[in-house]
Structure 1
Amino acid sequence: MIPKVYLPESRTMITLEVRRREFLTPGFASITLGGPAVRDLVVAGNDQAVRLFFPREGQTALRMPTVSNEAWIAQLMLVPKSVRPWVRNLTVRRARPADDEIDIEFALHGDSPMSSWVRRAEPGDPAGIFDIGTMYRLPEHAEGQLLVGDETALPAILSILDGTPPSLATEVYLEVAATADIRTVEAPAGARIHWFSRDDEELRPGAMALDAVRGAALPSGRFYTWVAGESRLATTVRRHLVNDRGVPKRDISFFGYWRLGRSAPG
């Protein structure tokens, strides 16, 4: 069985600042965070996840937790909302330790706290991260791989593709909210990317990617699957592969990044 998450042996709260912001498509933006403390982040995989701490609107400073273990949650919830930062889980899109920088891509959703912060972020604004490990682990026996996700998993999947060898047959199913968010991306020679756009707020996120996987010709031979996004997408893809396609459970990594109708705590 593939372990759910690989945690680093040691980790610490890291305080950085915004260096740049770029809008990639109408529904995606990238923020570059920088500072000498970037060197304290041990990048262990292509889907390196971090908790991102960022100020609420009107806050002039960032009050980071002071403990570098899971006790940070209790510590944070004791802080009054007037000075308590928001926190969200995200993937490091790229890390450049030599430049003391990391890039994080965001799927923008209306006026959510995170999307609002991204839109108003300016160079010099504070932000912090806390390492929460990696989840992608390609088994040695894999002859191919299947990557599936909605827009929230897009940064992680693109990062995984950055580290995928050209010789590995890779099928990628990516669903985004709108056609305008489909973009040209660099991919290894062995990868085929299938894009799907909902363009309809009535469609459940992940439903199009799920239907595509159900009707797809999957990689031949023994393959590894990494699927993430809305909870039902992740769990149903896994159930389909195991029950209908005979894929061993141990060859599947699946992660519900979020659940429709349930807001993130903060």
Structure 2
Amino acid sequence: MAAEPVALIHVTDVQRLTPHMVRIGFAGDGLDDFPTWPDQQLKLLFPRPGQAAPRLPDVPADGDQMRWYQAFLALPEDERPWLRSYTVRSYDPVRQRLTVDFVLHGSAPADDPASGPATRWAATAKTGDTLARYGPSALYARPLPLGTADWLLLAGDETALPAIGSLVEALPPGARALACVEVADAAEEQHLTTEADLTVHWVHRDGAPPGSGDALPAAVRALTFPAGAPFAWLAG
């Protein structure tokens, strides 16, 4: 079966990586032939209160995604699922499972009114819960960001960590990369697996809210860059 543009997906496992990062595995239709690449965007649709699964319009027989999206926007607002962009952290073609890492924003994510619907959902997710996915589209597939560069600079906050993790895992042996990642504190650091020559610098906010200061740009400016031409990948 070819990858379907819109389909329901079901939680298969939940793993708390750090106090504010949870990894959730999904199964569902269309995952037997799922296009995948590093730094892969996927849109997730979250059910409204009282819904066991997101309400979705039918996919047109010709697969026209724009007409589907117009039908999606025509749903009543109190029934229309929340739509958010995430990164595919990994895909297992043997088990036909995809994995997404969710940052849990707020001090008590499940109850904090400042937390968004995606954070509230992920904070209490359990096996069997249902979301929907929109995409991914192979139109957005990109090669590894190396090209003719001699080394790779990666910088971002915790929301960029899933993409950074997928990028460094795909780097070949001999590639060189520097990563500078801003997180709340030492408890939010993660181990990044790669065959490349990777150096990671962790930047701690230590109580400051995300994006409130110059800590990450200052840390990047303080790096000692390798010789040669770099390619920079920045996100947040």
Matching of residues 230-249 of structure 1 within 5 Å = none
Cα deviation code 1:119-155 (max 9, x no counterpart): 2222222112221534563243121111111111000
Structure 1 residue aligned with 2:112 = none
2:40 corresponds, among 48, 52, 72, to 48
Aligned to 1:255: none
Question: Counting helix residues as a fraction of each chain, which structure ranks higher?
Answer: 1
Shift of 1:217: 1.7
Partner residue in 2 for 1:118: 122
Query: Is there any run of 5+ residues in structure 1 with no aligned partner, and where?
Result: 1-9, 230-266
Query: What is the correspondence of 1:73-88 to structure 2 with a 5 Å cutoff?
Result: 73-88=69-84
Contact 1:16–1:35 (Cα < 8 Å) also in 2? yes
TM-superposition CA deviations, 1:147-191 (whole Å, max 9, x none) = 111111000001101111231111100111233211333233510
Q: Which residue of 2 aligns with 1:31?
A: 24
Q: Does 1:175 align with 2:206?
A: no
**Residues in 1 aligned to 2:213 and 2:93: alpha-carbon distance in whole angstroms:** 34
1:204 aligns to 2:211 (yes or no): yes
The whole-number CA distance in structure 1 between the counterparts of 2:101 and 2:210 is 24
Q: Aligned equivalents of 2:35 and 2:145: distance in 1?
A: 19
Aligned-pair distance for 1:207? Answer: 2.8
Deviations 1:18-45 (A, max 9, x none): 11111111110011010242124311x2
1:100 matched to 2:90? The reply is: no
Tell me the CA shift for residue 203 of structure 1: 6.2
Find the counterpart in structure 2 of residue 232 from structure 1: none
Partner residue, 1:7: none
* Matches of 1:61 and 1:189, distance apart in 2: 41
Instruction: State whether residues 94 and 103 of structure 1, in contact with CA within 8 Å, keep that contact through their aligned partners in structure 2.
Output: yes
Deviation at 1:49, TM superposition (A): 0.9
- Is the alpha carbon distance of 1:71 and 1:174 closer, same or farther for their aligned partners in structure 2, counting shifts above 3 Å? farther
Alignment length (residue pairs):
219
1:63 lines up with 2:67 in the alignment? no
Instruction: Give the direction of change, closer, same or farther, for the CA distance of 1:100–1:206 in structure 2 (3 Å limit).
Output: farther
2: CA distance, partners of 1:164 / 1:96: 18
- For structure 2, the residue ranges without an aligned partner over 5 or more in a row are 107-114
Q: Secondary structure at the match of 2:155?
A: strand
CA contact (8 A) 1:50 1:91 kept: yes
Looking at structure 2, the residues matched to 147 and 73 of structure 1 have their Cα atoms a distance apart, in angstroms, of: 33
RMSD (Å) for aligned C-alpha atoms = 2.1
1:157 partnered with 2:161: no
User: Would you say the 8 A contact 1:62–1:127 is kept in 2?
Assistant: yes
Question: What is the SS of the residue equivalent to 2:38?
Answer: coil
Distance 1:60 1:91, change over 3 A: same
